[in-house]
Amino acid sequence: MTLDRAFEIFGPPAVIIAIIKLLADLIIAWNNRRQKTEELGQSGGQWLLTTLQKQLGEERQERINLGQEVSEVRSELATVRGELAALGERNKHLHEENTRLLTENAELRATVGNLTGENLRYSAESESLKRDLRIAWRRLDELEFENQAQANQLLRTARTEESHEGTEAKPQP
């Protein structure tokens, strides 16, 4: 694993800590090897070689596992990016639909406003016509009353004239 790759995966602090730990492990292993070599001679060197090979194998396996985890995370990240792109597209369509509906709503509000204005105008005209109709009915009632009064007056006048004509037509004794 390269340092750039380690920086990508772990970030600088983790890499530094890993290097320090590895160096500490190597120093400890080196000191142990020296001690073992002195104590055991030739077999100590073999022990150190086996230990280092074991540690190296574990580190290789750990790097393989980390590589697999990184691949899985990248795959999941690609999936999430795809989902985000789809959501972004859906959001764009919803925004366009919302804009269209807001425009339509504004047009409908304007139409309702116009109709309300017309309704108020017609209502005012209706009230005016009702008032005019009431006035006309009152005037008609007045005219009928006057007409009836005149008819009654004419009838009385005609009867009075008939009665005067009847008395004038008869010879007076």
Residue 171: its pLDDT value, please? 54
Domain count along the chain: 1
Query: Among 20, 65, 13, 68, which Cα is nearest to 57's?
Result: 65
Residue 166: inside a domain, yes or no? no
Residue 9: its pLDDT value, please? 65
Residue 165: inside a domain, yes or no? no
Residue 170: inside a domain, yes or no? no
Q: pTM for the complete prediction?
A: 0.38
Residue 16: inside a domain, yes or no? yes
Residue 40: inside a domain, yes or no? yes
Q: Chain centroid to CA 107: how far?
A: 20
Residue 111: its pLDDT value, please? 93
Query: Among 24, 78, 20, which Cα is nearest to 32's?
Result: 24
Residue 103: inside a domain, yes or no? yes
Rg of the chain's alpha carbons, rounded to an integer? 58
Question: What is the rounded distance in angstroms from the CA atom of residue 146 to the CA atom of residue 130?
Answer: 24
Query: What angle do helix axes 12-40 and 42-169 make, rounded to 10 degrees?
Result: 160
Q: Which two tokens stand for residue 56?
A: 């190296």
The residue segments making up the domain with residue 24 are 3-159
Q: Which two tokens stand for residue 19?
A: 């290097």
Residue 8: inside a domain, yes or no? yes
Residue 164: inside a domain, yes or no? no
Residue 142: its pLDDT value, please? 93
pLDDT (tens place) for every residue of the chain, 173 residues total: 565 666 666 666 665 676 778 888 888 888 887 777 666 655 556 666 788 888 888 888 888 888 898 889 889 989 999 999 999 999 999 999 999 999 999 999 999 999 999 998 898 899 999 999 999 999 999 999 999 999 999 999 988 888 877 665 555 54
